[in-house]
Amino acid sequence: MHKQLEYDLANLPALLEKTRQTSETYLKEISRRAPATRYVPRKFLELSPQGLGAGRTLEAFLERYGDHMPASNGPRFWGLVTGGTTPAALIGDWLTSVYDLNLSHAANSAAPDIELEAITLLRELFGLPGDYSGTFVSGATMSNFAGIAIAREWIGQHYGKSVAVEGLHAIPPVKLISGEAHSSSYKALAMLGLGKGNLKTVPTVPGNREAVNVSELKKALEESNGAPCIVIANAGTVNSVDFDDIQSIVALKSEFNFWLHVDAAFGGFAACSPKFRHLLDGIEYADSITIDAHKWLNVPYDSAMLFTRHRDLQIAVFQNSGAYLGAIAEPVDFIHLAPENSRRLRALPAWFSLLAYGAEGYRDIVERNGEMAEKLGAKISTSAEFCLLAPVRMNVVCFTLNGSVDAERVKTFLQKLRDDGRVFMTPTTYKGTPGIRAAFSNWRTEEKDVEIAWQALMACL
Ligand SMILES: Cc1ncc(COP(=O)(O)O)c(C=O)c1O
Give pLDDT, residue 51. 97
Asked whether 263 lines ligand 1 (CB < 6 A), one says yes
Q: Which residues of 37-55 are buried (b: 16+ CB within 10 A; e: fewer)?
A: beeeeeeeeeeeeeeebbb
What is the rounded average pLDDT of the residues 82-109?
A: 90
Sign of the dihedral defined by the CA atoms of residues 159, 164, 166, 172, in that order: positive
Q: 297 alpha carbon to ligand 1 midpoint, in Å?
A: 13
Q: Who contacts 135 (Cβ-Cβ below 8 Å, separation ≥6)?
A: 119, 146, 305, 306, 314, 334, 337, 338
Confidence label for 41 from pLDDT (cuts 50, 70 and 90): very high
In a domain, residue 60? The reply is no
Residue 295 structural domain: 91-352
Confidence label for 237 from pLDDT (cuts 50, 70 and 90): very high
Distance CA 76, CA 284 (A): 34
Q: 291 alpha carbon to ligand 1 midpoint, in Å?
A: 9
pLDDT tens column, 244-276: 999 999 999 999 999 999 999 999 999 999 999
Closest ligand 1 atom to Cα of 238? 16
Q: Is 173 exposed, middle or buried (0-12, 13-18, 19+ CB in 10 A)?
A: exposed
In a domain, residue 151? The reply is yes
Asked whether 441 lines ligand 1 (CB < 6 A), one says no
In a domain, residue 258? The reply is yes
Q: 329 alpha carbon to ligand 1 midpoint, in Å?
A: 33
Checking if the pLDDT of 102 tops 90, the result is no
What is the separation of C-alpha 304 from the centre of its chain, rounded to a whole number of angstroms?
6
Q: Under DSSP, is residue 272 helix (H, G, I), strand (E, B) or coil?
A: helix
147: left (phi over 0), alpha (psi -120 to 50) or beta: alpha
Q: 248 alpha carbon to ligand 1 midpoint, in Å?
A: 24
In a domain, residue 189? The reply is yes
In a domain, residue 296? The reply is yes
Nearest CA to ligand 1 atom 1: 265
In a domain, residue 138? The reply is yes
Asked whether 292 lines ligand 1 (CB < 6 A), one says yes
In a domain, residue 67? The reply is no
pTM value is 0.97
* Probe target for ligand 1 pocket from 292, 297, 302, with the most ligand atoms within 8 Å of CB: 292
Confidence label for 332 from pLDDT (cuts 50, 70 and 90): confident
pLDDT tens column, 196-211: 999 999 999 999 999 9
Asked whether 134 lines ligand 1 (CB < 6 A), one says no
Q: 184 alpha carbon to ligand 1 midpoint, in Å?
A: 6
Q: What is the domain-level CATH number for residue 171?
A: 3.40.640.10
Nearest CA to ligand 1 atom 2: 265
The total domain count for the chain is 1
Asked whether 232 lines ligand 1 (CB < 6 A), one says no
* Probe target for ligand 1 pocket from 136, 141, 242, with the most ligand atoms within 8 Å of CB: 141
Asked whether 126 lines ligand 1 (CB < 6 A), one says no
In a domain, residue 451? The reply is no
